[in-house]
Structure 1
Amino acid sequence: MNKLFTLTFVLSFICTMAQTYHFPEESSRHEGTWLQWPHHYQHGTTYRQRVEQTWIDMTKALQSGEKVHIIAYDEDEKKRIVSLLEKNKVPMKNVDFKIYPTDDVWVRDNGPIFVKDSKGNVLIEDWGFNGWGEKFDFENCDEIPKSIGKDLGIKVIDLNEEMVNEGGSVETDGNGVLMACKSSVISQEKGATRNKGITQEEAEEMFETYYGVSKVIWLDGVTGLDVTDMHIDGFMKFANHNTMITMNEDDLLELGLSDKDINTLYTASNVDGKEYKKVYLPATKNKVKTAYGKQLDEKGSYVNYYVANTVVLVPNYGDPNDQIANKIIQDQYPGRKVIGIDVRNLYENGGMVHCVTQQQPEGKLMK
């Protein structure tokens, strides 16, 4: 009897150790989308007023097809946001609120990573977040996954001491492949360090276990070029298991990618060794000018779009190429409606639509 108990315990322990998790592809069915609403406490009222129309537009577009979970800084902000949404005639049936202090809006990077276990149950991975290498305040935002897990009564895997990982730094094809830039994951350069002393092999082991992938494709990326040290979701996205959305060589070079990285990107293959079909989106025709008239130094990317249940939110810039990019993306998602979201003022701060959204997949919550 004791031997049987011991054997059962050992087998149970081995199974627990062998547990891997699956990060569902973005286009799979969502329960809802999480947003961190911009506020004035960190960057002032002018900042908030300039960017929050983007959140109004996203909420309006998303609410008809899934829940919209809005994180408000405090009760006063919640009241203000409700009034703002009602003023803009946004239906509130599928909109709810959580009250947590935040440092900023980038929920893709600091928020919960929702995954499924081998039985299909949904749970949260709480990876470390350190403000993109301690460039900005991060203490409030680092608490968001844990706070959501507590409120939902859902299991949270605490990876804070294991690895810093921003959601926008990785892309997965939903079928075993993950792509990332070394510059925003394992770089040891000052001002870009997420994980001191981490090796490439250690990072790959974490991705294999907690994203459920068997193949990791690395680009070198560039440290210090922008706040994120070149997040992959600015220029590359998997549309499905076999198709990659990216940009042409000239646009990628202008973004700062090396010839080596472009070659790695263009020749990337899936788990079966088959090279991905590539769909090329243009950059904006012109350098982006904010809605309030400030001329920026960069062109805009359309690759940073977000796939929801019934719509695809595409960053738009008031540029001649908006409609061209929208049409190309629409062709990839015939069952969903492409909606252009004006991100001109948000782009001044380095992000677009994908950076400020985070999906919660449909499924039973693991308690």
Structure 2
Amino acid sequence: MNKLLTLAFILSFTGIMAQTYHFPEESSKHEGTWLQWPHHYQHGTTYRQRVEQTWIDMTKALQAGEKVHIIAYDTTEKDRIIRTLEQNKVPLKNVDFRIYPTDDVWIRDNGPIFVKDAKGNILIEDWGFNGWGEKFDFENCDKIPQQIGKDLGVQVINLNEEMVNEGGSVETDGNGVLMACKSSVISQQKGATRNKGITQEEAEEMFETYYGVSKVIWLDGVTGLDVTDMHIDGFMKFVNHNTMITMNEEDLLELGLSDKDVNTLYTASNANGKEYKKVYLPATKNKVKTAYGKQLEDKGSYVNYYVANNVVLVPNYGDPNDSVANKIIQDHYPGRKVVGIDVRNLYENGGMVHCVTQQQPAGNLLK
């Protein structure tokens, strides 16, 4: 057991309550949304050009309801992004920029986790990030939480030596329950290892302390199925502490889930022991084809959406089921407007809307 967990055990044993933190649900009020803008330095100009429209569309939809904090690779990129947004008639009043080198765009996984302490003050948790088991470069992205914390002057809890944890690998219901796949958190298989030697119990203790949950529900997941080793946010999301959005059994099995995992998901209960009400989104009717015409091998998921102050950004694919999924989601967020975001080219690279957004809750920053 590592030093931090040993300390937590000692404090618990002696009756001294250690500080725990609360991860506000995504639908709670935001100060803003953080985005890592795609650039050409890592994957080339063609990559940037193919996916950039997704960031333009997200920024346009978000800026009317909250701040949009854009991370640009360097000042040259910042100037180019400003020109691009102006050309697309995106108001810049609520948009600001930070200059940090990044390896890629997946801020949900490498970015800051904003939490609240017992007094309701907001601070940043900086979990370790190792490129989904060292599959890709990660050194620049791993520094992002510390850089944001320094710029904002907010306290940062450094968990880099304690546990690797990607934001997309966990879902919380805002009322004490966290769900995750073992394959993307505690798997010890080669090419997928986040945390060498970690036990399920140690991971649960970390989640209980730093996400403020009392119950962790594990699916097995599938190691090696994709880059993330099956992140939970691809196929389930909590609407609230009574309701989850997911997919039907046939679609889940096609995604790679086992019968056991489907059963665990469907019978999951909240902190009060009540089984979650389930809302089922379809997968795309057809396998996804990129905007530039490349046929991909998989159907797309609509579950990977992002809830902002005024809007809900839903991945769309130019598919007949786009309108079906958008309406179902709209019905569950009546105070917000669903905005379909074309993610066809981004999907080729392994993610959708939720993967590339990170919320900063409204409230006082702990300086």
What is the TM-score of this pair, normalised by structure 2? 0.96
In 2, the alpha carbon distance for the partners of 1:17 and 1:23 equals: 19
Aligned to 1:147: 147
Aligned to 1:8: none
In 2, the alpha carbon distance for the partners of 1:114 and 1:145 equals: 10
Aligned to 2:129: 129
Amino acid at match of 2:243: T
Shift of 1:260: 0.1
In 2, the alpha carbon distance for the partners of 1:15 and 1:355 equals: 39
- SS of match in other structure, 2:208: helix
In 2, the alpha carbon distance for the partners of 1:156 and 1:178 equals: 22
Q: Does residue 170 of structure 1 match 2:170?
A: yes
- SS of match in other structure, 1:285: coil
Amino acid at match of 1:326: N
Shift of 1:15: 9.4
Aligned to 2:252: 252
- SS of match in other structure, 1:207: helix
Amino acid at match of 2:143: E
Post-superposition CA distance 1:46-88 (Å, at most 9, x none): 0000000000000000000000000000000000000000000
Aligned to 2:217: 217
Q: Mark the CA change 1:16 to 1:43 in structure 2 (over 3 Å): closer, same or farther.
A: farther
Amino acid at match of 2:59: T
Q: Does residue 192 of structure 1 match 2:192?
A: yes
Amino acid at match of 1:24: P
Post-superposition CA distance 1:11-52 (Å, at most 9, x none): 9xx898611000000000000000000000000000000000
Aligned to 1:6: none
- SS of match in other structure, 2:297: strand
In 2, the alpha carbon distance for the partners of 1:319 and 1:66 equals: 29
Shift of 1:263: 0.1
In 2, the alpha carbon distance for the partners of 1:169 and 1:348 equals: 19
The count of corresponding residues between Structure 1 and Structure 2 is 355
In 1, the alpha carbon distance for the partners of 2:344 and 2:24 equals: 30
In 1, the alpha carbon distance for the partners of 2:357 and 2:334 equals: 22
Aligned to 1:3: none
What is the TM-score of this pair, normalised by structure 1? 0.96
Amino acid at match of 1:315: P
Amino acid at match of 1:275: E
Shift of 1:273: 0.2
Aligned to 1:365: 365
In 2, the alpha carbon distance for the partners of 1:104 and 1:310 equals: 27
Post-superposition CA distance 1:280-322 (Å, at most 9, x none): 0000000000000000000000000000000000000000000
Aligned to 1:355: 355
Q: Mark the CA change 1:312 to 1:16 in structure 2 (over 3 Å): closer, same or farther.
A: farther
In 2, the alpha carbon distance for the partners of 1:15 and 1:32 equals: 38
Post-superposition CA distance 1:194-243 (Å, at most 9, x none): 00000000000000000000000000000000000000000000000100
Structure 1, gaps ≥5 residues long: 1-10
Amino acid at match of 1:90: V
Aligned to 2:235: 235
In 1, the alpha carbon distance for the partners of 2:288 and 2:259 equals: 25
In 1, the alpha carbon distance for the partners of 2:122 and 2:359 equals: 12
Return 17-26 or 123-132, whichever deviates more.
17-26
Aligned ranges 1:192-341 → 2 under 5 Å: 192-341=192-341
- Give aligned-pair identity as a percent: 89
Shift of 1:159: 0.0
Aligned to 1:64: 64
- SS of match in other structure, 1:162: strand
Q: Does residue 102 of structure 1 match 2:102?
A: yes
Amino acid at match of 1:263: N
- SS of match in other structure, 1:327: helix
In 1, the alpha carbon distance for the partners of 2:333 and 2:15 equals: 38
- SS of match in other structure, 1:366: coil
